[in-house]
Structure 1
Amino acid sequence: MSEEETVLIPGASAETPEEMPSDLIEQPAKVLRIGSMVKQLLDEVKSAPLDEASRRRLRDIHRQSIKELESGLAPELVEELERLSLPFMDNEIPSEAELRISQAQLVGWLEGLFHGIQTALFAQQMAARAQFEEMKRRSITTSESDKSSGPYL
């Protein structure tokens, strides 16, 4: 699957009030890469003290990560992400605690998004399996009724 493709669930019901999470990710590979990077960055930041320059750099990385994530998401998720992530002021260097909280919040949001996608894909697989079993059952029933029609001449 290319980055430019939108993940869609074939046969997803139009009756559901909300879109499936996987319908809202326009560039899944990009979102996964950025999510992995942000998680790794958070793990690194937890173990090291940050001086002013590294806090400034981390603030910029956080800001750019959100901007890049937004380019891979549908408008509904972009709005949600913007509501949840509080921007840092340009002229202020955030404290270590502020940076860690912001990174942890972003990682948590991404993990929730990924969990929603996994759940949707599992539901799709279960629906496909049920549909296949129904087709198989119908095929067996049809072939049994064909046998009782007698020999061909």
Structure 2
Amino acid sequence: MGVADAPSDPGGTPTGETDEGDTDQQRSPHDLVEQPAKVMRIGSMVKSLLEEVRNAPLDDAGRAHLAQVHERSIAELKDGLAPELVEELDRIALPFGDDNPSDAELRIAQAQLVGWLEGLFHGIQTALVAQQMAAQAQLQQMRQLPPGMGQSGPGMPGWAQQSGPLQPGERPSNEGTGQYL
């Protein structure tokens, strides 16, 4: 699930809602990821570890170490996330048992974490694009003149009130000589 998805509890009520009816969709990405650089670094590390686990079999010591790294990564991620994302991560990241996890268990756990992080990053990117589009639309609205304001009139530059056609050599009364000195 990404930032744009509001997770539901078993009763069907979105868990990201507050008393005011706000959901995760209305919060800025900065509010959801309090330490984005840290989350990106850990995400890159977890993805690299997943590639290593796919390419090489692990012995018992390697599996134990990778399980510790996985659990530490989750703990560090929690430090950089908003409480609602920490709760979501707690729900999906199941702890390993007392025994050393198998290669398959480690691959599944790492792939799940990488998938969750990629969903989080995708949700953040989507929210940022939506914010940028909304800001651009607002700027365009501010730049547009109200109807009828596009033509020159009294008080507008270039408007000259004429009482009739100009005679040869005559200038409009509000036009300067062009000299600034």
For the superposition of Structure 1 and Structure 2, which TM-score range results when normalised by the shorter chain?
A: 0.7 to 0.9
Q: What is the distance in 1 between the residues matched to 2:100 and 2:88?
A: 25
Q: What is the distance in 2 between the residues matched to 1:39 and 1:45?
A: 10
Q: Deviations over 1:81-113 (max 9, x none)?
A: 011011113x41000000000000000000110
Query: 3-state SS of the aligned residue for 2:57?
Result: coil
Amino acid of the structure 1 residue aligned with 2:94: L
- Could you tell me which of 125, 133, 144 is aligned with 1:118? 125
> Which residue of 2 is the match for residue 127 of structure 1?
134
Structure with the bigger percentage of helix? 1
Gaps of 5+ in 1: 1-14
Matched, 1:108 2:141: no
The runs of 4+ residues in structure 1 deviating greater than 3 Å are 139-142, 150-153
| TM-score, normalised via structure 2 length | 0.69
CA RMSD of aligned residues (A): 2.2
Deviation at 1:18? 1.4
Deviation at 1:25? 0.8
- Could you tell me which of 6, 19, 27 is aligned with 2:24? 19
Sequence identity, in percent?
A: 60
Matched, 1:74 2:79: no
Query: 3-state SS of the aligned residue for 1:59?
Result: helix
| TM-score, normalised via structure 1 length | 0.80
Gaps of 5+ in 2: 1-19, 161-173, 176-181
> Which residue of 2 is the match for residue 6 of structure 1?
none
Name which one, 1 or 2, has greater alpha-carbon Rg. Answer: 2
- Could you tell me which of 142, 145, 162 is aligned with 1:138? 145
Aligned residues: 136
> Which residue of 1 is the match for residue 101 of structure 2?
94
Q: Deviations over 1:19-65 (max 9, x none)?
A: 23713111111111101110111011100000001000000000000
* Pair 1:120–1:44, CA change in 2 (3 A): same
